Structure 1
Amino acid sequence: MRIKNSILFAITTLLLVSCNSEKKKETTVKLPYDGSWESLQKMPVPDWFNDGKIGIFIHWGPYSVIGHRKEGRGYAEHVPKLIYEDSTYYYNYLRERWGAAPPEFGYKDIIPEFKAENWNPDDWAKLFAEVGAKYVVLTAEHHDGWANWDSDLTPWNAMDMGPKRDIVGDLGKAVKKQGLKYAPSYHRERHTSFFTTEKYVVDAEARPDILEEIKRVPEAESLYGPFGFSKEAVDEYVARWKEIQEKYQPDFLWIDDIPIFTRDGNDTRKNPQEFKPVIQYLYDQCRLMITDFMNNGVERGQEVYVNNKGGNRNWPDGVGCLEKDNLKLDVIGPKWQSCTTFGTSFGYLENDTYKTVEDVIKEMVEVISRNGNFLVNIGPKADGTIPEEQLERLNEMGRWLEINGEAIYGTRYWKVNEQEKGNLAFTTKGTKLFAIALEKPVNSIVIEATKGWAENEVKSVKLLGSEAEVKWSITSEGLEIICPADLGKSKYAWSFEIATNSVQHAPNAIQTDANKALKGTKKVDLDGNH
């Protein structure tokens, strides 16, 4: 009897193992991304990203302690490398401020002053929600090698040094409580040449004073290095992202552009592509890293997405949204994102030169009307406070969105994106057309692209934020709107909501060719990519 029971148990066990194996196979088969670029090109744009429109980017790290750049403008988050590149200027600056310069005192020695002592992640998250953001992108790691999370892979992390807090984790919890999506951004792809004598080369060498700092403090090698590309460096690059993914389950994989893909004998733009072996390995590992991230999202029932950064895009078109710094397309492009600065820097820069509030609002509207998302950046101080100039612009943006949000959130592009006469931008939502005047509307506005509309096409016209009656008529030149004397609560830009009898979104108005869409953009890039 015991033998029979044992046999029965063994058969049952085998059947269960077999069933579990089949279930695992089924799960593997059902995952939509098979590791190829072709499958990744089919990734959908998540509704939360397409509808949300507004994100907050945060550049915050030990470089925020410095808050200074030669000539007072440009990307202050690049100063850690500029210290060693422009030693004549920055060594004197360090001596004046800290009393020493490399190799006695280098970037690693500034880290203890990054304390975040006045930082409250819940206050940040509430602010971001109040000003109308729908997602938050925080620098998990910039090019400097510093990890803003509780990392088991490097001692140079915010839990073990500096703030001694899990910045990525704490902010993630806070923004999720506010119902916002979260993306710790990852910029380590250019770390291997950040502190070297030559940038964006496969075989890079550390600067002499960096080597001397490491000689004196051997632990510094894991901050400043590795130098140049190797299989080990690529594996570490992937491992750090994997740690972020597993610990924080981000909604978006944000990666900066990767210059080595088109430098030093490598070129993704050629057909067939040209790669040195280790860069081929990097390219392949990035593809697998994105695949794993996307499939992991599917397994969790989480809508996730990625970006495709740079004029020379990291990945084939269709893999994520187009993105560049301060990007403004002239046309309606494939889904894209502008990571936008209020000033000239992403990281904190004392006495930065800022755009006017009016220019920020206009830029936001233009980006969204052309199928873009507006990822606007703040650069907090090292203690966790946000500079007043940035707070002012965030709050004004929030006040404008509170009045005009109906013309922004959940909208899609129209058949045209702008009209010179009257300085108009357009968005749509179902049967509604929004004509957003980017200069104060006076007298009347004729919407030229409505020429030929039938008398009964328009049901009503109103001005968001105003109780005034808006008169209108269909003329031979198109819909004419008589602007009311009372423009209501809105400032900087005014949104006319036009209720019609037909769906206004025009899917075919998009320029699907990314190269053509990017040609002739109005972008101003102050210092390469950040």
Structure 2
Amino acid sequence: MKISISLLVLIFVFTACNNSKKEPQKEEVSTPHYAANWDSLAAYQEAPEWFREAKFGIYAHWGVLSVPAFANDWYPRLMHVEGSVENKHHVETFGEPSEFGYHDFVPMFKAEQFDAEAWADLFQKSGAKFAGIVAEHHDGWSNWDSETNPWNSMDKGPHRDIVGELGKAIHGKGMKFVTSFHKARNLQIFQQDSTKWLDDTSYFPYNPKMPTASNDPELSILYGNIEKEVFYSNWLAELKEVIDNYHPDLIYFDGKLDKIPDTYKEEFAAYYINQSLARNQEVVITHKEGELPKSVSVEDFEKGRMNKITEDYWLTDETVSVGSWSYTHDLGLKTADEIIDLLADIVSKNGAMMLNVSPMENGIIPENQQQILLTIGDWLNTNGEAIYGSSTWKVFGEGPTKQEKSGMFLDKLTYTAQDVRYTKRGNTIYAIVLGWPGNDTPITLSSVTSKVLGEDGLSIEKISILGSDQDIPFSLDTEGLKLTTPSQTIDDKAFVIKIETKK
């Protein structure tokens, strides 16, 4: 049978049209798979772009350790140290630790007013781009529904999945979620050496007269009085639980991670990174004092920072309080002004800040802490373009107040209106002046000179002060950029001079 030419043409046109409607084949992209060794893991970008741009986060020390509300967050340890202030208070208030142990505080941790949505809302209004909670402190208490640790917030205490509730609320507001782990110090390693029972390498001091030496199957887990290999396995299993169930974007580690063998740490890092990449999630791991390789994780400086611009991105964890990281009845607080100055200093040197808050046992963040956070948030609403997504400039700053060394636990510095910190975005330079020098007051930014800008072929197009619509006349010469503050106070804290340049 013959087929007409017209029919052949019709078939050809139909086939061509039909093929044109087919979607192009998507090219399969394989997810990087890292082996559980540091050499393989070194290929991972330890500080992804979101973290480099975020700059500011908030987390909370909260759990059973919040119940005594006395002295500091090391009360769970020091209540067992005879002669200490904490031990004396404990004996007078609750009885001898041999009769009323730390585990007896667990039923008192009820968290009856904890509202994860309210916390997340506060953190967002405070300007945080990442936020979270201590998942487990040195005390061995897990703030999540754990299958590994019987001492967890679902099975005991408040009977709530705290990490789960907060993670959902924080992710729901578009922030990155943080979980911090301090468990490594929990392991007791000096049971056989009475001269080291009080060594704080182990959080709970071994004492045969107290529950810290108990061989009870559950109590021994809480107090870290278990075989090392069991502890290591539990450490890894707990991390995998949190990774699988709550998908944290940043896992922070406190000190003494050197107590955990590398094989366990390598398995953790590979598991976390591989599982996260399978979800198209870029994650961050932090460490202290070289306890993880910098090629895999970001270095953290507790209550400290660098004193110069660094190539590696780093983190400072600081606390809104003075003294204790967890809530106490007489908790002292920093001012919002002090914290903003620290944030500006940190960002100017290629770092980020994670600020701790201290909720009460019932789950309420005290009003005075909330006001500090909201004041920081208001400042960032006005001046955030000098912080978020910024990078370092040629110098980090200028002024009379000097930080002599880098590291953790640095002495307090009080910055002045003569201290300036610099950041940049593209061709725009931001001068963050750490105090208001007065109305109609001349200022010279000695680092921004005609020579410095000329080296990059830049000229100044416009000068403004964030939060003000007043014109800012200026002059530029070899001595620096000269201008006069507006006739009205812009901010009694730090303020930002925006220097827009062009080639």
Could you tell me which residue of structure 1 aligns to residue 155 of structure 2? 160
Select the residue among 375, 378, 392 that pairs with 1:413.
392
Select the residue among 484, 491, 499 that pairs with 2:486.
484
* 1:294 matches 2:273: yes
2:292 aligns to what SS in structure 1?
A: coil
User: 1: CA distance between counterparts of 2:189 and 2:171?
Assistant: 33
Could you tell me which residue of structure 2 aligns to residue 48 of structure 1? 50
Q: CA deviation at 1:259?
A: 5.7
Q: CA-to-partner distance for each residue in 1:473-506, whole Å, 9 max, x for gaps? A: 2213232233222343x3310101111115xxxx
Q: CA deviation at 1:140?
A: 0.7
Q: What are the ranges of 5 or more consecutive residues in structure 2 without an aligned counterpart? A: 1-27, 192-196, 401-417
* 1:222 matches 2:221: yes
User: 2: CA distance between counterparts of 1:356 and 1:195?
Assistant: 41
Q: Structure 2 matches for 1:20-419, cutoff 5 A?
A: 30-44=31-45, 45-69=47-71, 76-86=72-82, 89-98=85-94, 100-193=95-188, 197-199=197-199, 206-211=206-211, 214=214, 219-227=218-226, 230-258=228-256, 260=258, 282-309=261-288, 312-333=289-310, 334-342=312-320, 343-419=322-398
User: 2: CA distance between counterparts of 1:201 and 1:155?
Assistant: 24
Q: CA-to-partner distance for each residue in 1:33-78, whole Å, 9 max, x for gaps? A: 2333233333322222111111002100111011111xxxxxx221
**Partner letter of residue 254 of structure 1?**
Y
* TM-score of the pair, normalised by structure 2: 0.83
How has the CA–CA distance of structure 1 residues 152 and 195 changed in structure 2, closer, same or farther, with 3 Å as cutoff? farther
**Partner letter of residue 125 of structure 2?**
E
User: 2: CA distance between counterparts of 1:137 and 1:339?
Assistant: 13
2:74 aligns to what SS in structure 1?
A: helix
User: 1: CA distance between counterparts of 2:284 and 2:157?
Assistant: 31
Q: Percent identical across equivalent pairs?
A: 32
User: 1: CA distance between counterparts of 2:497 and 2:382?
Assistant: 12
1:462 aligns to what SS in structure 2?
A: strand
Q: CA deviation at 1:239?
A: 0.7
Q: CA deviation at 1:332?
A: 1.2
Q: CA-to-partner distance for each residue in 1:69-115, whole Å, 9 max, x for gaps? A: 1xxxxxx22110111123554343223323x2221111000111111
2:346 aligns to what SS in structure 1?
A: helix
Q: CA deviation at 1:286?
A: 0.2
2:343 aligns to what SS in structure 1?
A: helix
2:352 aligns to what SS in structure 1?
A: strand
Q: What are the ranges of 5 or more consecutive residues in structure 1 without an aligned counterpart? A: 1-25, 70-75, 262-278, 503-530
Q: CA-to-partner distance for each residue in 1:432-464, whole Å, 9 max, x for gaps? A: 100010121431223324341349611101100
- Decide whether the 8 Å contact of 1:32 with 1:39 is kept in 2: no
Q: CA-to-partner distance for each residue in 1:200-257, whole Å, 9 max, x for gaps? A: 679x983213348736x65322221334x62222111101111111111111121112
- Decide whether the 8 Å contact of 2:443 with 2:482 is kept in 1: yes
Q: CA RMSD in A?
A: 2.4
User: 1: CA distance between counterparts of 2:109 and 2:189?
Assistant: 20
- Decide whether the 8 Å contact of 2:213 with 2:225 is kept in 1: no
- Decide whether the 8 Å contact of 1:51 with 1:411 is kept in 2: yes
* TM-score of the pair, normalised by structure 1: 0.79
User: 1: CA distance between counterparts of 2:498 and 2:97?
Assistant: 60
* 1:428 matches 2:428: no
2:62 aligns to what SS in structure 1?
A: coil
**Partner letter of residue 66 of structure 1?**
P
- Decide whether the 8 Å contact of 1:53 with 1:134 is kept in 2: yes
- Decide whether the 8 Å contact of 1:440 with 1:494 is kept in 2: yes
- Decide whether the 8 Å contact of 2:399 with 2:420 is kept in 1: yes
- Decide whether the 8 Å contact of 1:468 with 1:486 is kept in 2: no
1:390 aligns to what SS in structure 2?
A: helix
**Larger % of helix: which?**
1
**Partner letter of residue 484 of structure 1?**
P
Q: CA deviation at 1:296?
A: 1.4
**Partner letter of residue 222 of structure 2?**
L
User: 2: CA distance between counterparts of 1:207 and 1:470?
Assistant: 68
- Decide whether the 8 Å contact of 2:58 with 2:357 is kept in 1: yes
**Partner letter of residue 443 of structure 2?**
S
User: 2: CA distance between counterparts of 1:449 and 1:33?
Assistant: 45
**Partner letter of residue 470 of structure 1?**
I
**Partner letter of residue 329 of structure 1?**
M
- Decide whether the 8 Å contact of 1:56 with 1:377 is kept in 2: yes
How has the CA–CA distance of structure 1 residues 429 and 224 changed in structure 2, closer, same or farther, with 3 Å as cutoff? same
How many residue pairs match? The answer is 444
Q: CA deviation at 1:174?
A: 0.7
User: 2: CA distance between counterparts of 1:339 and 1:194?
Assistant: 27
User: 1: CA distance between counterparts of 2:276 and 2:339?
Assistant: 33
**Partner letter of residue 374 of structure 2?**
N
User: 2: CA distance between counterparts of 1:61 and 1:185?
Assistant: 13
How has the CA–CA distance of structure 1 residues 205 and 323 changed in structure 2, closer, same or farther, with 3 Å as cutoff? closer
User: 1: CA distance between counterparts of 2:386 and 2:238?
Assistant: 40
- Decide whether the 8 Å contact of 1:102 with 1:213 is kept in 2: no
Point out the structure with max Rg over C-alpha: 2
Q: CA-to-partner distance for each residue in 1:114-170, whole Å, 9 max, x for gaps? A: 111111110010010011001113111111111100011122110111111000000
- Decide whether the 8 Å contact of 1:471 with 1:483 is kept in 2: no
Could you tell me which residue of structure 1 aligns to residue 501 of structure 2? 500
1:84 aligns to what SS in structure 2?
A: coil
Q: CA deviation at 1:295?
A: 1.4
- Decide whether the 8 Å contact of 2:54 with 2:388 is kept in 1: yes
* 1:466 matches 2:444: no
Q: CA deviation at 1:367?
A: 0.9
Could you tell me which residue of structure 2 aligns to residue 16 of structure 1? none
How has the CA–CA distance of structure 1 residues 171 and 195 changed in structure 2, closer, same or farther, with 3 Å as cutoff? farther
How has the CA–CA distance of structure 1 residues 448 and 89 changed in structure 2, closer, same or farther, with 3 Å as cutoff? closer
User: 2: CA distance between counterparts of 1:232 and 1:474?
Assistant: 66
**Partner letter of residue 79 of structure 2?**
I
